[in-house]
Amino acid sequence: MTCRSALNRPGGTQSSWTLNPYNGCAHRCTFCYVRTYERRADRPSDERYGRTVRVKTNVAEILRRELERPGWRRQDVTVGAATDPYQPAEARYRLTRRCLELLGAFRTPLALITRSTLVVRDRDVIADAARGAGAKVHFSICTLDEDVWRRTEPGTPPPRQRLRALSLLAAAGIPAGVGIAPVLPGLTDGQASLAAVVQAARDAGAAHLWWDELRLRPGTREHFLECLARHWPEQLPRYRRLYAGRSSLPREEVGALEARVAEARRPFPLRPPDLIEPSNGAEQLALGL
């Protein structure tokens, strides 16, 4: 596909932008909030989601035009807010790499969000950008439990491979961190599970850490609950209670989760990143679909 714009401004903000070279995601995470937006666009949000990925073949050319505008103020750009910028197709099309080169050349601060290890290929470009206007990489890692990972993130590299990729980026001088996003009630929200991710992130050289709660809006809700029914049916009553008539966790549950994350990171202090706010920041950037 072709696109008419490359940069998208998240609703309600005046100081940041998002960039998504692809639409759709081959990672097919069962909890992905983008399924909601796919459903609104009359595209599949069920098992078919991610079987087709739309490639914005002209995104780099459009991005260059936008960065060349006299009014461009070099505001923060988050790459991959709605779709992972390192789809398998990126190995062929190299659109994310070309966009990163442009952002660096125009001295625009950037942040990458990914679950892919392909980002390591571009550590030279990202390191250059980091030394210029600034660049960060956020690896989404929900859990180190391989059973939970296989069943909820069927198209992603294993969590420990992502941690090795983080180590390589950190060794290249790139500020890289971990987003425990989303935290899954009953599956990854235990103190031991959270502490394991925090410690592994610290050991890998992570510079920052943030987290996000699970939201179950139409499209995401149906698919994720089907996954629960297949693999963890004992969890269904808890989810029906927590998300009864709502798409987010009750406030008291969020507070309790925040406290557990704080406790988990206490022995391994990691600072929050600058370009994305911990807790619910990721989804707020998923606009411009």
pLDDT at residue 154, as a whole number: 95
User: Mean pLDDT per 10-residue run, the chain (289 residues)?
Assistant: 93 77 94 87 85 95 97 94 95 98 97 98 98 96 98 97 98 96 97 96 95 95 96 97 96 96 89 48 35
E-assigned strand segments in the chain? 7-8, 16-19, 22-23, 54-55, 76-79, 110-114, 135-140, 176-183, 209-213
pLDDT at residue 289, as a whole number: 27
pLDDT at residue 81, as a whole number: 86
**What span, in angstroms and rounded, lies between the C-alpha atoms of 178 and 136?**
11
Q: What DSSP string runs through 180-194?
A: EEEE-TTTT-SHHHH
**What span, in angstroms and rounded, lies between the C-alpha atoms of 285 and 289?**
11
pTM of the model: 0.91
pLDDT at residue 196, as a whole number: 97
**What span, in angstroms and rounded, lies between the C-alpha atoms of 254 and 259?**
9
Only one residue has tokens 């629960």, namely: 228
pLDDT at residue 39, as a whole number: 84
Q: DSSP state, 9?
A: P
pLDDT at residue 48, as a whole number: 86
Answer whether CATH 3.30.420.40 is correct for domain 7-284: no
Domain boundaries, the chain: 7-284
